[in-house]
Amino acid sequence: MGSGGRLTGNRLQGVVGGRRGCNGAEELARAGACEVTGEWKSRSPVKTGLPLWMLGLGADLLWADMNRLLAFLFHQGVLDEQFLQLQQLQDETSPNFVSEVVNIYFHESEKLLRNLRGLLMEREFSDYKKMGIHLNQLMGSSSSIGAKRVTNVCLAFRAATEHNNRPGCLRALEMLEHEYCYLKNKLHELFQIEQQRALAAGVRYPVQNN
Amino acid sequence: MVCEKESECIEDMEVEILPSMWPEDIGSEVGKQFNIEKPGRDQDMLEDVTIIEEPTIADFKRLMELTNFTEKGSSQLAYLMKHWEYKQANASRLLREELDSLSKQRQDVELRKMEILEEHRFEEERYGGDKRPVSILEDVYDIWQDVPRRKNKVVVQNKRIEIDAAEYDTVKYWKQRALHSEKLLEASIQREQILQEKLQERIKNIERQSSPVEELSQILKRADNFLHFILQNAPVVIGHQDKELRYRFIYNHFPSLQEEDIIGKTDIEIFTGSGVKESQEFKREVLEKGLPAKREITFETELFGSKTFLIYVEPVFSKAGETIGINYMGMDVTDQVRKRERMAKIREEIAVQKAKETELNKTIHITEETMRAKQMLATMSHEIRSPLSGVESGVMKLEATKFRPREVLKHVLQTAAASLQKILTLEGHVSDDVPIEVVGDVLRIRQILTNLISNAIKFTHEGKVGINLYVVSGTQANEDRCLSTPQSSSDRNLLDAQRHDHPPSQNHAFHGECISPVKSECSANGDTEEHHHSTETTVWIRCDVYDTGIGIPETAIPTLFKRYMQVGADHTRKYGGTGLGLAICKQLVELMGGDLTVSSKEHHGSTFTFILPYKVSIIEENSDDTDELSDMENDEGTCDDTTESFFQFQPRTLGSLFSSNGSSRTQKLLTHKIGYTSSNTSECSFSFPSHDIISKGTCSVQDSSLVVDTPEISESSASSSGQSRETNIENVVSRDKYCQDKGIADSSKHMVAALEMDIATKSSELQQKFKVQGNVTSIFASELTKSTSKPKILLVEDSKINIMVTQSMMKQLGHSIDVVNNGAEAVRAVQQCSYDLVLMDVCMPIMNGLQATKLIRSFEESGKWDAARKALMELNLADLDYECSGPSKKRIPIVAMTANALSESAEECFANGMDSFVSKPVTFQKLKECLEQYLS
C-alpha cells in the first residue's frame, strides 16, 4: 500500500534513480549486473490465475522488472544515458512523454528505413547522397532518444554511403533493421511493463479496518 | 729408375706446354683459368661430348696464312718446334747415358775377364815349373791381396775358405777356380744381354713415340675440341675479318647463312638494316686506331629481327706491326638488354611511385594536421572559446581589477620560461614611469601577453623574446596606432630603447601637448571633472612584445589578424596552431579600448605592440608630489617586485630559476633616483585632471569597427532619452566604469565609441546624432538586464524527435522557445523577431544551418536583407516582409547543433559566423552551459 502510493506521483523517478541523476545508467547497470549476462527474462508471475498487476499487488515487482530490463539494455549498449535524459523530461505535465517521443521516433524511423531500403534496392544507381541525408536524420533522432546501437550502425551506414560502398550499405541496412527491431521490441516490452505497473499502482483497495 | 724419371719429365712438359696454346697475354695473366686437364682425362671427357663440327666455316688456307704470317702464329710454331727439339734432345741424352753406363759395365766385365785370364796364365806358369820357394804359411794371402777385391771379394773369400778346405795350390784347386770364373763370366754376359735387350726396347719405345707433327696436331685437336666444347652452345659469334672487313673466318653456332654467303664478304654486303652500318663503322674504327674496343649494337635486320649484340673487336697485326684485320666476337645480349630496360623502367616507376608516396604522405600529414586542428577547434577548451565568442557576440564582460603590471609581466615570462623548450633568453623591461598598480582586466591582459609571448617563442629559434612596458601619452598612443607602414623590428627596438632612456622628456612633451586641449574641452563641465579626478585617472601603457624570430613577410601583415590566417600553409605545417590567437588578441585589445599593431622584418624578428588605457587609483598613490616620492623610496627599500624594472630568464636557468638582473636594476634605480623629479612626473601627473580626459578621449578615433557599432546605441539612446545635450566626458568615463561593473561591457564600448566621435569632431552631423546623455546609459543598461531575464530563443531543427526533446528540456530549464524547421524559416523568423539566441541545426532540408547563419550575419553587417532575399528567391520561397526589415540591434549568438562535431566541421560553423556549437544529442548540461554563456 505504502509502496504503491510512493510510486504514484513520480512513476519514473524511481526508475531512473533520481530526477537529475547523471549516473543513473551506471547504477542500473550495476544493479542488474547479475542478470545481464543472458537474455533478459521477465520474472514469471505468481500463479494466481490472474496477472498480479491486475490485482494491484505487483507494482514493486514490476518496478524491479523495469529496472532490470533497463539495466540489461544499458549493459548491452542498446541504450545510453540520453534515454535517462528523456525520462527526466517526463513529469506530471507530460506523463507519457517518453512513450510519446519514442512512438514518434518509431514512426519516423520506419519511414526512413523504408526509404533507405527503397533507395538501396533501386536497380541502376542508388542515391547515396539522399541516403546520407536520411541517415543523418535517423542518427540525429536515434541519438536524441539514446538508441546507442542504432546510432552506431547509422554511423557505419553513413560511412558506407560516403564511399558508395553498396555491399557495405546492404550489410549496414540489414544490421540497422535488426537493431531497430530489437530496440522496438525491447522498448515495447518496457512500456508494457510500465503500463502494467502504472495500473497496478493505480489500483486502490478500500481500507478495511479503521 | 731411369724409366720413371723419364715419364715424370714428360708429364711436366705437358703441363707446361698447354698454356702456350693461348695468346701469351691471356696465358700469363689468367692462364690458370684456361688450364686444361691432363691429356688422358681430357680425351675421356671429350669422348662423351658429341661435337658437331659443321658450324665451323673456315678458310683453311687463310688460317695457314695467318699462322704463317701473323706474329702469334709464327711464335706459336717456333715454340712448338723448340719444344719438340728439346724433348728429342732429352731423349737422346738419356739414351746416351744409358749407353755409357752399359759400356762401362762391359768394360768392367772385360777387365775382370782379362784379370782372370791373367791369373790363369800365372797359375799355369807356376803350375808348370815354379821354382821359387813358396811359403806354405800365411804368405799365400799376399798374392790374393794384390787382386782387386772390389767386386769379387766375397767370392774370393769364400773361395779361399773353400780353398782352405780344399787342397791349396793343387790342380783341383785351380780347376775349381777356373770353373768358378767361368760361371761369373756367364752371369756377366747374361747381364749384358739383358741390358742390351732393355736398350733395344727403349730404342723401340722412342721410335714408337710421336713425331712433332703428330704431337702438334694432337694438341691442336685438343684445343679445337676444347673450343668446340665450350662454344657449342654459346650464343657467340666469333670471326676474323681482313683489312677490308671481309670475313675470313666465322664461327656461329646458329648459322643462318651458308659459308659462301659470308666468307669473303663484308657486313654490309651480308646484312641490311639498322645497326649494320654502325657495326661496320665500329670495326673500321678499331682497325684504324689499332686498339681493341667493345660496343653494344642493336641490329634490326630482316634476317634475324631485332637483336642486340655486345661486340668485341680487336685489331690483328702483322709481324711488321701493320693491322691486317680484326678479330671479332659478338654475343647476343638481347634478353639482357630487354631485362635491363625493363628493370630501368621498373626502377623509374618505383622512383615515381616513391615520389608519389612521399607526396601522399605529405598530404596525409597535412590532412592529419588539418584534422587535428579541426579537432582542436572542435574540442577547444571553454576558456579559449568563450572570449572569442564573447568578443564576437559583443557581450563579453570586462573585469576591472587592481593589478601590478610588473608582477603580471614577471609571471607571464616565468610561465613561458618554465615551458620553454628552446635556448632563448626571455626578458622584460618595465619603464620606471609605469605605475606600480593599475586597474584593468588583468585576466584578459594576461591572456593577450601569454598569447603574444608564446607566439613569439614559437616563431623564434635563437636570440631573445621580450616584453617592454612603458607609459605613453594618449596622443602618442593614437599616433602609434595610425602607423600602418611596418617598420623593421630593429628600428622599432631602437626607438623603444630611446624611449626607455628618456622617459622624462617624453612625459614632459606629453604634458605640453595635452594640457591645452584639455582646458578647452573641460571648461564646459569643470565641476564634474574635478569630482571624478579626485578618485582616479587613466594612464596609457604601451606594451611591446618583441622577438628575434623568423619575422613576417610584409605581404602577410594585412591578413595577420584575421581568423584562421597564418602567414602561409607551410607555417601551419611547421609550427601548427590554428591562427586564432592573434585575431582574439586583437579583438580583446580593441574591446578594451586599445589597439594591437605589428612591425616586422623578415628573418630578423617581429614586434607586436598594444597600447591600452589603465585606470590608476590616486587615493592609494597619493596626489602629493613629495609624498609620492617618499612612498616610492620606501617601496624600493622594502619590496623588490613592486618596482623592479628588468627581468631576465637566461636559457641556462630554463624554467627553474628566475633571476632579476641585479646590476641592471641598480643602474635603473640609480637613474631613477638621480632624475627623480622628472621621472616621477608621470605618476604625479595623474593628479592632473587633463590627463584622464585626453587619454580617454583619443582612443582609436579611426577605428572603423567601432564606428559601425555606433548607430544602434545612438538609436536606442536617442529613443529612450529624447533629450540631447553636449556630452560630458567625465560622465562617460564614469559610466564606462559603471557599465563594466554591471557587466555590460557592450554598451560601455559603444559609449566610448560615441564619445570618440564627439571629441574627434570628425563630422558635425554625426556629432549631432550621437550625443548621449549620462543618465541614458543606466536606463539602457537596466533594459538590457531586463531583456536577458526573459530571452527569446529560436530553435531551428527539422527532426521532430529533436524538437520534442529540446523543447521539453528548455521548458524544464524555464525557457520557452520558438521552433522553425529549416534555415529559410529561420531567416524569416530572425527578420520578424529579435532573438537572443538561435540554436541552429546544421543539416536541414531546403536551407541548411550554415547558409542561414551566413544570411543572418550578412544582414547584421549590412543592415539589409538583400542577400537573404536573393537566396530565398533562388530557392523559390516566399519573400521576406519588407516592413519588418530594419537595422538589427546586435549580433545574435548562433549556436550550431551538430550530430557529429567533426564531420560537420567546426571550422565550417565558425567560418559561417556561428559562435559555437553543441554536439547532439542535446543534454540538460549542454543546454544549460550554452544558455549560461549566451544569455547571462
A97: which chain B residues are within 8 Å (Cβ-Cβ)? 808
Does A146 sit within 8 Å of B812, measured CB to CB? no
DSSP B688: S
The pTM assigned to this predicted structure is 0.34
Does A82 sit within 8 Å of B801, measured CB to CB? no
Closest Cβ–Cβ partner in B802, B808, B812 for A140: B802
Q: What's the confidence (pLDDT) of residue B689?
A: 39
Residue B342 pLDDT level (bands cut at 50, 70, 90): very high
Most B CBs within 10 Å, among A136, A148, A150, A158, to test the B interface: A136
Q: At B402, which helix (H) or strand (E)?
A: strand B401-403
Residue A3 pLDDT level (bands cut at 50, 70, 90): very low
Q: Which residue of B has its CA nearest to A94?
A: B808
Q: Is the pLDDT of residue B886 over 70?
A: no
Strand partners, B918: B897
Does B812 sit within 8 Å of A94, measured CB to CB? no
Surface of B (845-904) touching A: CB under 8 A: 845, 899-900
C-beta of residue B770 within 8 angstroms of C-beta of residue B710: yes
Does B899 sit within 8 Å of A140, measured CB to CB? yes
A133: which chain B residues are within 8 Å (Cβ-Cβ)? 843, 845
Q: Which of A77-91, B112-126, B546-560 has the lowest mean pLDDT?
A: B112-126
Surface of B (785-804) touching A: CB under 8 A: 798-802, 804
Does residue B893 or residue B521 have the better pLDDT?
B893
B802: which chain A residues are within 8 Å (Cβ-Cβ)? 140-141, 144
Closest Cβ–Cβ partner in B801, B841, B921 for A101: B801
Distance CA A170, CA B700 (A): 63
Closest Cβ–Cβ partner in A20, A86, A140 for B799: A140
Preceding amide of B921 cis, omega within 30 = yes
C-beta of residue B442 within 8 angstroms of C-beta of residue B677: no
Does B809 sit within 8 Å of A85, measured CB to CB? yes
C-beta of residue B834 within 8 angstroms of C-beta of residue B860: no
A139: which chain B residues are within 8 Å (Cβ-Cβ)? 899
Closest Cβ–Cβ partner in B808, B812, B843 for A136: B843
Q: Which residue of B has its CA nearest to A104?
A: B801
The grid coordinates of residue B144 equal 790374393
Does A137 sit within 8 Å of B805, measured CB to CB? no
User: Nearest CA to CA, how far is B801 from chain A (Å)?
Assistant: 6
Tell me which amino acid residue B813 is: L
- Among the listed residues B715, B709, B756, B716, the one whose alpha carbon sits nearest the alpha carbon of residue B733: B756
B923: which chain A residues are within 8 Å (Cβ-Cβ)? 81-82, 85
Does residue B188 or residue A127 have the better pLDDT?
B188
Reported for B184-193, long-range contacts at CB under 8 A and 24+ positions apart, including other chains, are B184/B112, B184/B116, B184/B152, B184/B155, B185/B109, B185/B112, B185/B113, B185/B116, B188/B109, B188/B112, B188/B113, B189/B109, B191/B105, B191/B109, B192/B102, B192/B105, B192/B106, B192/B109
Could you read off the pLDDT of B606-630 as tens digits, one per residue?
999 999 888 887 654 444 444 444 4
The grid coordinates of residue B844 equal 536541414
Strands (E), B518-621: 536-547, 595-601, 605-617
Q: Which residue of A has its CA nearest to B923?
A: A85
Distance CA B92, CA B401 (A): 132
Does residue B290 or residue B883 have the better pLDDT?
B290
C-beta of residue B837 within 8 angstroms of C-beta of residue B934: yes
Closest Cβ–Cβ partner in B805, B812, B845 for A144: B805
A85: which chain B residues are within 8 Å (Cβ-Cβ)? 805, 809, 921, 923-924
> Mean per-residue pLDDT for B915-928?
85
Closest Cβ–Cβ partner in A85, A97, A101 for B923: A85
User: Nearest CA to CA, how far is A43 from chain B (Å)?
Assistant: 32
Tell me which amino acid residue B131 is: K
B808: which chain A residues are within 8 Å (Cβ-Cβ)? 89, 94, 97
Q: Which of A62-71, B704-713, B732-741 has the lowest mean pLDDT?
A: B704-713
Does A101 sit within 8 Å of B804, measured CB to CB? yes
For chain B, the residue count is 936
The grid coordinates of residue B563 equal 581568423
> Mean per-residue pLDDT for B433-437?
88
Please report, rounded to a whole number, the percentage of residues in chain B having pLDDT higher than 70: 55
Q: Is the pLDDT of residue B836 over 80?
A: yes
Distance CA B669, CA B366 (A): 52
The grid coordinates of residue B255 equal 648459322
Could you read off the pLDDT of B706-735 as tens digits, one per residue?
333 334 444 444 343 434 344 444 444 444
> Mean per-residue pLDDT for B796-801?
88
Q: Which residue is it, cell 627599500?
A: B637
DSSP string, B616-664: EEHHHH-S-HHHHHHHHHHHHHH-HHHH--EEEE-GGGTTT--B--HHH
Could you read off the pLDDT of B96-155 as tens digits, one per residue?
998 999 999 999 999 998 888 877 665 555 444 444 444 444 444 444 444 444 444 444
Residue B694 pLDDT level (bands cut at 50, 70, 90): very low
| CA-atom Rg of chain A in angstroms | 20
Could you read off the pLDDT of B280-307 as tens digits, one per residue?
889 988 888 888 999 998 888 887 788 8
Residue B882 pLDDT level (bands cut at 50, 70, 90): low
Greatest mean pLDDT among A35-49, A103-117, B834-848 lies in: A103-117
Does A108 sit within 8 Å of B800, measured CB to CB? yes
B813: which chain A residues are within 8 Å (Cβ-Cβ)? none
Distance CA A136, CA B214 (A): 103
Strand, helix or coil for residue B738 = helix
Closest Cβ–Cβ partner in A91, A105, A143 for B921: A143
Does A140 sit within 8 Å of B801, measured CB to CB? yes
- Among the listed residues B204, B218, B215, B202, the one whose alpha carbon sits nearest the alpha carbon of residue B83: B215
A81: which chain B residues are within 8 Å (Cβ-Cβ)? 923
A91: which chain B residues are within 8 Å (Cβ-Cβ)? 812
Does B921 sit within 8 Å of A85, measured CB to CB? yes
Distance CA B457, CA B355 (A): 34
> Which letter, b or e, does each residue of B884-899 get, where b requires 16 or more Cβ atoms within 10 Å of its Cβ?
ebeebebbbbbbbbbb
Q: Which residue of B has its CA nearest to A130?
A: B845
Does A88 sit within 8 Å of B924, measured CB to CB? yes
Distance CA B271, CA B278 (A): 12
Interface of A with B (CB under 8 A): 20, 22, 81-82, 85-86, 88-89, 91, 94, 97, 100-101, 104-105, 108, 133, 136-137, 139-141, 143-146, 155
Q: What's the confidence (pLDDT) of residue B212?
A: 73
Q: Is the pLDDT of residue B54 over 70?
A: no
Does residue B834 or residue B764 have the better pLDDT?
B834
Does residue B372 or residue B302 have the better pLDDT?
B302
Question: How many Cβ pairs within 8 Å bridge chains A and B?
Answer: 65
ipTM above 0.85, yes or no: no
Please report, rounded to a whole number, the percentage of residues in chain B having pLDDT higher than 90: 9
Tell me which amino acid residue B398 is: L
Neighbours of B749 (CB within 10 A): 23
C-beta of residue B777 within 8 angstroms of C-beta of residue B735: yes
Q: What's the confidence (pLDDT) of residue A105?
A: 92
Strand partners, B540: B472, B613
DSSP B892: P
Does B805 sit within 8 Å of A101, measured CB to CB? yes
User: Nearest CA to CA, how far is B898 from chain A (Å)?
Assistant: 9
Q: At B57, which helix (H) or strand (E)?
A: strand B57-58
Annotate B790-853 with three-state secondary structure. CCCEEEECCCHHHHHHHHHHHHHCCCCEEEECCHHHHHHHHHHCCCCEEEEECCCCCCCHHHHH
